[in-house]
Amino acid sequence: MSSEFDYDLVIIGAGVGGHGAALHAVNYGLKTAIIEAADMGGTCVNRGCIPSKALLAASGRVRELRNAHHLKSLGIQVGNVEFDRQAIANHADNLVSKIQGDLTNSLKRLGVDIIRGWGKVAGTQKVSVTTDNGEKTITAQDIILCPGSVPFVPPGIEVDGKTVFTSDQGVKLESLPQWIAIIGSGYIGLEFSDIYTALGCEVTMIEALDVLMPGFDRDIAKLAERVLIAPRDIETKVGIYAKRIIPGSPVVIELADFQTKEDIEVLEVDACLVATGRIPATKNLGLDSVGVELDKRNFIPVNDSMAVLSDGEVVPHLWAIGDANGKMMLAHAASGQGIVAVDNILGKGKKVDYRSIPAAAFTHPEVSYVGLTETAAQELGLAEGFEIATSKSYFKGNSKALAENEADGIAKVIYRQDTGEVLGVHIFGLHASDLIHEASAAVANRQSVQKLAHLVHAHPTLSEVLDEAYKRAIAS
Ligand SMILES: Cc1cc2nc3c(=O)[nH]c(=O)nc-3n(C[C@H](O)[C@H](O)[C@H](O)COP(=O)(O)OP(=O)(O)OC[C@H]3O[C@@H](n4cnc5c(N)ncnc54)[C@H](O)[C@@H]3O)c2cc1C
């Protein structure tokens, strides 16, 4: 590319989005730099996916080994199962260091310049970087913004990082409070309730909306509630919000009705995890220098090509990916968007197909989905003039799940009645986060249940749950 610039591409933010974009860019020979102000790897590697999955792996094993009833059904007996909280925390921490090192080395090895400092747009095709040694300006043919997100803490909630904390501190597992309140029943709240209950804590889950797991398909949420919440040491408060939280010992939580705002009760718990979503980290990015305004929720406005928009018009040579654009706040969505942005820099005319990007909650068992919920599919059908249908199959009819004696689970396929095209698939059950990818490929290729029902699945595998759902769809 052109040598009139210092770089072909400068990326602000070395989270998974920036990393994915950088690797793709150097594959195509772009001279690339990445600017990072804090931890290489961003949220996913340091405070998100990686440490939380390490904690879920260890705590899940404790739950499994302490489930005498389940083990006995398989003919196994174990003695007292003990664990060491600090050793579990170390497992997560060591994994973070390893993945952070691998990510940084992969960038270096491929010749990406890593610049440590705060990056800002400083006019068209210019970036200023503030480092310990002062400020410098570099030029780039194209700039990708990938500054990520931070936890959202609602007004009235005071976080001290010890007794009242967000997932940023939660992943460090510094304590195991006897009684912990979790504010929010989205995937972060659910995963932490899985970890805490497996390690013997009592949980009170507080959800402001009128249903638990509001982001999930209703059939999935209902079964997930029956398996992940009801039998565990979890009390739920729904339609109720934490109006005020005061850290200390005890932590004081003033609860009010979400609709009427009337005070309901005051809880005194040992600790509180605030898992009320995330907000974009889009302050002080210099966007005003190129006339870009953030949207109402402070996300960077982009189109499906990942180009940044100003008043609906594309700003040339400026792209934004990952959590900061709010399109789909997931690690793989961020890196997928990064690849699309680079492809478009190279003039390949790509768009992100959000419908085929899967999502998962790594509880025991897991929840996963891809595409539309039933409600969203119905709305689309109304708008575009088609009927939808659904087909369900159950893990209790699956030989592999029965062999494991873990047959709580469901797969639900939502499809167009006229063409059979799969619009969404939702799974709750053992290894749901792995099973979803077959459905994701089907949605990406806009395949029909008629076609999918004729694919042969290995027997006995959990994947036959989806096979069964497709077959039921064509039988109905
Ligand atoms: C507890 C938890 C669990 C999660 N689990 C999963 C999961 O299992 N699967 C999944 O897909 N997603 C998961 N996520 C979400 C996932 O972590 C995010 O979607 C992902 O990290 C977003 O990537 P990103 O590159 O957009 O931003 P980030 O990872 O947030 O990275 C942005 C980086 O930019 C840097 N930065 C910001 N501004 C500047 C600047 N001006 N100059 C220089 N550097 C800057 C930041 O320091 C940061 O390192 C989880 C999140 C949390 C909190």
Beta bridge partner(s), residue 274: 183
Residues 305-311, mean pLDDT to the nearest whole number: 98
CA of 42 to the centre of ligand 1 (A): 5
Does the structure show a pLDDT above 90 at 357? Answer: yes
Atom 51 (ligand 1) nearest CA:
48
Residues 360-383, mean pLDDT to the nearest whole number: 97
Domain with CATH 3.50.50.60 in the chain: 7-48+90-149+279-352, 153-276
Res. 180 pLDDT band, cuts 50 70 90:
very high
What is the dihedral angle through the alpha carbons of 458, 464, 466, 471, rounded to the nearest 10 degrees? Answer: 100
| Percent of all residues in the chain with a pLDDT value above 70, rounded to a whole number | 99
- Of 293, 364, 304, the closest CA to residue 328 belongs to 304
Q: Across all residues in the chain, what is the average pLDDT?
A: 97
CA of 17 to the centre of ligand 1 (A): 8
Pick the CATH number of 356-475 from 3.40.640.10, 3.90.1150.10, 3.40.1190.20, 3.30.390.30: 3.30.390.30
Res. 3 pLDDT band, cuts 50 70 90:
confident
Structure tokens at 418: 């006229």
Residues 367-373, mean pLDDT to the nearest whole number: 97
Q: Which atom of ligand 1 is nearest to the CA of 150?
A: 30
CA of 14 to the centre of ligand 1 (A): 9
> What pLDDT, on the 0 to 100 scale, is given for residue 342?
98
Residues 123-151, mean pLDDT to the nearest whole number: 97
| Positive or negative: CA dihedral 104, 105, 106, 107 | positive
Q: Which atom of ligand 1 is nearest to the CA of 20?
A: 25
CA-to-CA separations, 9 to 21, 314, 357, 374, in angstroms, rounded = 10, 18, 26, 41
pLDDT in tens, 61-115: 999 999 999 999 999 999 999 999 999 999 999 999 999 999 999 999 999 999 9
Superfamily of domain 153-276: FAD/NAD(P)-binding domain (3.50.50.60)
Residues 32-45, mean pLDDT to the nearest whole number: 98
Domain with CATH 3.30.390.30 in the chain: 356-475
What residue ranges line ligand 1, CB within 6 angstroms?
Answer: 12-18, 35-39, 42-44, 47-49, 52, 118-119, 146-149, 167, 171, 188, 281, 285, 322-324, 329-332, 334, 362
pLDDT in tens, 434-476: 999 999 999 999 999 999 999 999 999 999 999 999 999 999 6
> What pLDDT, on the 0 to 100 scale, is given for residue 132?
87
> What pLDDT, on the 0 to 100 scale, is given for residue 2?
53
CA geometry: angle 448, 453, 454, nearest 5 deg:
110
Task: Name the percent of the chain in helix, strand, coil, to the closest 5.
Answer: 35, 30, 35
Q: Which atom of ligand 1 is nearest to the CA of 151?
A: 53
Does the structure show a pLDDT above 80 at 120? Answer: yes
The DSSP letter of residue 99 is H
Res. 221 pLDDT band, cuts 50 70 90:
very high
- Of 160, 162, 164, 205, the closest CA to residue 186 belongs to 205
Query: With contact defined as beta carbons under 8 Å apart, do 168 and 156 qualify?
Result: no
Q: Which atom of ligand 1 is nearest to the CA of 119?
A: 42
Query: With contact defined as beta carbons under 8 Å apart, do 444 and 416 qualify?
Result: no
Q: Which atom of ligand 1 is nearest to the CA of 17?
A: 25
What is the best residue among 24, 40, 49, 192 to mutate for testing ligand 1's pocket, by most ligand atoms within 8 Å of CB?
49
CA of 147 to the centre of ligand 1 (A): 8
Pick the CATH number of 7-48+90-149+279-352 from 3.40.50.720, 1.10.645.10, 3.50.50.60, 3.40.50.300: 3.50.50.60
Atom 38 (ligand 1) nearest CA:
147
CA of 170 to the centre of ligand 1 (A): 16
CA of 57 to the centre of ligand 1 (A): 21
pLDDT in tens, 420-437: 999 999 999 999 999 999
Q: At 115, give phi and psi (nearest 5°).
A: -115, 120
CA-to-CA separations, 202 to 205, 227, 242, 264, 459, in angstroms, rounded = 10, 16, 18, 21, 40
Structure tokens at 372: 């539309």
What is the best residue among 11, 39, 44 to mutate for testing ligand 1's pocket, by most ligand atoms within 8 Å of CB?
44
Q: Which atom of ligand 1 is nearest to the CA of 35?
A: 43
Other CB atoms within 10 Å distance of the CB of residue 404: 15
Other CB atoms within 10 Å distance of the CB of residue 326: 20
Does the structure show a pLDDT above 90 at 182? Answer: yes
Task: Decide if 431 is catalytic.
Answer: no
What is the best residue among 10, 39, 43, 437 to mutate for testing ligand 1's pocket, by most ligand atoms within 8 Å of CB?
43
CA of 267 to the centre of ligand 1 (A): 32
Does the structure show a pLDDT above 70 at 262? Answer: yes
Does the structure show a pLDDT above 60 at 1? Answer: no
Strand pairing of 134-145 and 7-12? parallel
Q: Quick one: 36 exposed, middle or buried, by C-beta within 10 A (0-12, 13-18, 19+)?
A: buried
Query: With contact defined as beta carbons under 8 Å apart, do 43 and 17 qualify?
Result: no
Query: With contact defined as beta carbons under 8 Å apart, do 2 and 31 qualify?
Result: no
Atom 13 (ligand 1) nearest CA:
49
> What pLDDT, on the 0 to 100 scale, is given for residue 476?
67
Structure tokens at 113: 């310049």
Query: With contact defined as beta carbons under 8 Å apart, do 10 and 122 qualify?
Result: no
Q: Quick one: 182 exposed, middle or buried, by C-beta within 10 A (0-12, 13-18, 19+)?
A: buried
- From the candidates 69, 70, 437, 459, give the one annotated as an active-site residue: 459
Whole-model pTM: value is: 0.97
Query: With contact defined as beta carbons under 8 Å apart, do 441 and 432 qualify?
Result: no
CA of 408 to the centre of ligand 1 (A): 32
Beta bridge partner(s), residue 144: 11, 319
